Amino acid sequence: MRIVPDPSFPQQHLLKMIFNGSALWNMIKEAVAIQYGLPDHLDEEDEDLVVEFLDLVKDYMDIAGDLASVREQRNAAKTLGNYISRLAERGFFVGANLRRMLLTGGVSEEPTGWPILMIDVQAVSEVRAVDADGSPLPLSPTGTSPVSGG
């Protein structure tokens, strides 16, 4: 068995900045695996918050299929949004995308979709913001890019 890039989807090498829980929740619902990144050399309080957030993302990924009601899914998105806000208050951005892969081989002769959630939490000072074409965005004096949420 092998996991290979899905030729039907262009492979994204950049992460989208995540500003709210709904955007992240929609990715979590589709994903079957997760790959994450976190900054090095964090103080204990920041590291605990980042790890707690990533554990929450993984836990929601594990139970996403069981959250059938609109209320449960809204609550999941709100909880994620609260963590994203807390991280932003501490000077961190969340970036994510779904990497479209295929599981090949094994019992089935047909490849199976295998979307991987790529998620990274980084300090604002370490983020390199670019537009959809990959051109760098100028940073404001606060260190944030003039990017609208979405």
Reading the chain (150 residues) residue by residue, the pLDDT tens digits are 888 877 787 776 678 889 999 999 999 999 999 999 888 899 999 999 999 999 999 999 999 999 999 999 999 999 999 999 999 999 999 999 998 878 888 777 788 888 889 999 999 887 777 776 777 776 554 444 444 343
Closest CA to 118 of 47, 5, 13: 13
- Residue type for position 90: R
> End-to-end alpha-carbon separation of the chain, Å?
36
92-99 vs 33-37, strand pairing mode: unpaired
Domain boundaries, the chain: 2-126
- Backbone φ and ψ for 23, nearest 5 degrees, come out as -60, -45
What is residue 130's DSSP assignment?
Answer: B
In the chain, alpha helices (H): 21-30, 44-63, 70-89
pTM (predicted TM-score): 0.79
Which two structure tokens, joined as six digits, stand for 99? 């990497």
